[in-house]
Each structure stands twice: as C-alpha cells, then as structure tokens.
Copies of this chain bind each other. A is one copy, B any other.
Amino acid sequence: MIHFDCDYMAGAHPEVLDTIVKNNTVQTSGYGNDDFCTRAKQLIREACGTPDAAVHFMVGGTQTNSTVLDGILRRTEGVIAAESAHINVHESGAIELSGHKVIALPSHQGKLDAEEVRTYLHDFYADETWEHMVAPGAVYVSFPTEFGTIYSLNELKALSKVCHDYKIPFYIDGARLGFGLAASADVTLKDIARLADVFYIGGTKMGALFGEAVVCTDSNLLPRFFTLMKARGAVLAKGRLLGMQYEAFFQNNLYLRIGRHGVALAQRLRKAFEGKGFHTFIDSPTNQQFFILPNEVIDRLMPVATFEYWGPRGEKESKVRFVTSWETTEEDIKTLEELL
C-alpha cells in the first residue's frame, strides 16, 4: 500500500525523532523553560530575521489558532477569514467557543482577496449601526490554504497593508508553511515574518510528532500569553519536546528541506497524472494535489493506494486529493504512475 491520504498519518521525520530519543534521559525544567526551547526559539528568530520576536510553542493547529486569536481579539471582536478557512469549517467552532465570530468573506480557491477585505472594513465603519455588529479585530489567512494554494508576495503585502491601515493584526496560519515556502516563487519566511503580526510555523503536518511554533513580532499583542495558554490547556508539561523538534527543524535547514521534498514529489505526482490525461480541479503548487479521475481509475487505485475522496463530479468521474509528505518517496510516485 502506498499512502497519499494526508501528511500527518505517520510519526516524525527521523532527524526530528532522533533528537527526542537521544535526549530522553536529560533532565530539564518543564513548561518550555529549558535549553532546547531556548535554542529553538533563537534559531527561529534568526530564520525569520526578527531578533525581538516572541516565540511560543503549542501542540496542535486548532489549539494554536484559537489560543492566538483569543489572545489577539478584544472580547467582542471577530476575525475575518475566507469562508473555506479551517477556523470556519473544521475546528468544531473553537473560535466561537472562545467568544469570537468568524466573519466569513468569499473564498477564492481558499484565498481572501485584499480588496474585498478592505471593502468589508470600509463598509463596516460606514454603517451607522456598526456598534451593534461584531467588529473585525484580525484577519486570518492560511498559507498554504486548505486547497493547497498560496498567496503571492504582492497579495500578502496587500493584505498586510489593509490590516495595517485599519490597525488590526494580520495572522497567518502556517500549518503547512514549509510546503508553501518551498512552492512559492517569491515568498520567504522573512517575508512572512515581516508582513504578519503573528503567524505559526506548523510542525505536525511538516514532519514533527506534533507542535506548532507561534511567532509574534508585535510585543504588545499577546500580553501574559503563557497564562492564557495554560488556562486553555495549551502548555505542554514536557515543553522540551517542542524545543527539541524545532531545534531539529531549524538546525540544518531541515524544515525547508522537508518542504521542498514534499513539493517536488507533488509536482512529479501531478505530472504523472497529467501525463495520463487526467486534470486537476484546483491549481495547487504545494503538496496537496486535486484531480478529477474516472471512477474506474479510482476503483483500480483503492486497493493499493490511500487518498481522499472529495465527492462525485457528474456520473462517471470524481474529485480526489493526493498529498505528499516527508515520508513520500520517488518509488511511491513510480508505483502510482504504473498503476494509472
């Protein structure tokens, strides 16, 4: 069986796991007050080009999104996001459970349009009844999006500018950030760090056992954040595990290497499908690929490969998603190609 169903179905990249195993008996302080975390944070700050940024480690994506947004937003503020955003669909209402509305704007293959955000903000404050409505207190985008698409540098700049103009934080969910950076023609980690007020460098989907690293460049944005994290159950007792993994990620450029690996194989996979005459229904440059396949092909693949079924398209075809990860090999792609 070859696996393309998701990028968090196995354990950790060997270099990441090794550091946990190797340091297993070392005694450290808890809650992230250890040397592994200190070093990892320093490496992240350097990679981001933000020497003064605060770095906070959390365990998973929903936890990170809801905790960061709860920290950023005033009590009655909401967050602008694309209708398809993870926080609006697949996080079980975590944002609302914290008291905040997700203000859903149209999704353009997963992406927000900066001009639409600007118009929304303009119209909001132009409405006489705005005090009776949920004020937009932040803008959320995912990079890459839930559909594998990515923003260009100019698109990110435009979003950052509209946030800046309206004095609300710009937050980037980087659950698959490494794949996004590897796929982008012009966006670097330093750009992300410069344009976002707060973002996270995803670990779980990039080859960690678990873990997400929040980077906050605005020192006033998350006051007493440790206490908020703790109160929300988002502090890992053995925080060192997060430090170890991110140290591994950022020590020998591993994080980007994994990103490039996944993206390269995804492109090969795409070519394999297209070479057989099959088409994508979303044009994704990252590690998620979306194809329209004849149902008979799907039936043929099912017993030997895992992938996600996304629903029918007419009577004889269906939409499917294939995902590569740190674990995917050239061999896997070849095997798949032969099966097509």
Interface residue ranges, A against B (CB under 8 Å): 1, 3, 6, 8-12, 14, 17, 20-21, 23-30, 59-64, 66-67, 70-71, 74-76, 78, 89-94, 96-102, 129, 131-135, 204-205, 209-210, 223-224, 226-228, 230-238, 240-241, 306, 327
Interface core residue of A26, A64, A132 (most chain B CB under 10 Å):
A132
Q: Determine whether the beta carbon of A100 is less than 8 Å from that of B96.
A: yes
The 3 A-B residue pairs whose C-beta atoms are closest, nearest first, are: A63-B233, A11-B24, A93-B134
A17-B11 in contact given A132-B92, A134-B93, A237-B204 (Cβ < 8 Å): no
5 more A-B residue pairs beyond the given contacts A76-B93, A91-B132, A93-B100, with a C-beta to C-beta distance below 8 A: A8-B30, A89-B133, A92-B133, A132-B230, A209-B241
CA distance A240 to B94 in the complex (A): 23
Question: Which residues of chain B are within 8 angstroms of A224 by Cβ–Cβ distance?
Answer: 74, 76, 131, 135
Could you say which of B9, B61, B131 contacts A27, with CB atoms under 8 Å apart? B9
Question: Which residues of chain B are within 8 angstroms of A62 by Cβ–Cβ distance?
Answer: 230-231, 233, 235
Question: Which residues of chain B are within 8 angstroms of A98 by Cβ–Cβ distance?
Answer: 99
